[in-house]
Chain A
Amino acid sequence: KQEVTQIPAALSVPEGENLVLNCSFTDSAIYNLQWFRQDPGKGLTSLLLIQSSQREQTSGRLNASLDKSSGRSTLYIAASQPGDSATYLCAGSGYSGGGADGLTFGKGTHLIIQP
């Protein structure tokens, strides 16, 4: 059974800093790994998806990496802004075909960017 762990559970940094959120997973037979953002009282917004054959993906100030051999993924946020304050979730997809794969989620990192 896949288990996903996120460290730290909470993080507070001043605006402008670069920061890294960590995600680890137990089953290396992961098909893809996704990072989501969740704002209070809202649903999840997909940020990045890294396929198992890829090492990283970038979108704007966000960069996510995937190392299947070590069971780790990181989300790098450059030049953080107060608007980046949210809970960030990583999730692993373990089914390799048919498109029916449900996600196994970590518990999230609650991020606060201080103005």
Chain B
Amino acid sequence: NAGVTQTPKFQVLKTGQSMTLQCAQDMNHNSMYWYRQDPGMGLRLIYYSASEGTTDKGEVPNGYNVSRLNKREFSLRLESAAPSQTSVYFCASRPGGTGVYSNQPQHFGDGTRLSIL
């Protein structure tokens, strides 16, 4: 009963390095999301994917790219990490779709704690 799995759980990078945060869900959900959580700011949406093959920007997309690799996996990439991207990153998913599926809650992973020096 894994739900949403994020890897890695912790990571320290140097400014300018790149890395990819991985997210996978085993609930056959259509929609997937990336959020960041910062002290005093709450959670903010970075990117989302309504379905396999589609991605859209959220509130704070600058400095990030995403890939919806297949229905299960949605990755977040930092091409050139900056100290301002130090944060806790959460991936979430929900069934998506219309009708009865449009009002289902999002399920969250345990997060990736990323520090950029």
Contact = CB atoms under 8 A, between A and B. Distances in A.
Contacts of B92: 44
Interface string A94-105: 001111101111
Interface string A29-72: 00110101000001111100101000000000000000000000
**Count class of interface residues, chain A:** 20 to 34
Given A34-B105, A49-B103, A51-B103, A43 B96 contact: no
Contact of A100 (B31, B40, B107): B31
B30 A99 contact: yes
Nearest to A51: B103
B45 interface: yes
A68 to B, nearest CB: 15
**Count class of interface residues, chain B:** 35 or more
B95 A99 contact: yes
A44 B90 contact: yes
Nearest to B96: A99
Contacts of B111: 42-43
Nearest to A108: B42
B98 interface: yes
B98 A34 contact: no
A91 to B, nearest CB: 8
Contacts of A99: 30-31, 50, 94-98, 101-102
A104 B103 CA distance: 15
Contacts of B108: 36, 43-46
19 contacts: A43-B108, A43-B110, A43-B111, A44-B90, A44-B92, A44-B108, A45-B108, A46-B105, A46-B107, A49-B103, A49-B105, A96-B102, A97-B98, A98-B50, A99-B31, A99-B102, A102-B48, A102-B58, A103-B35
Interface of A: 4, 31-32, 34, 36, 42-46, 49, 51, 89, 91, 96-100, 102-108
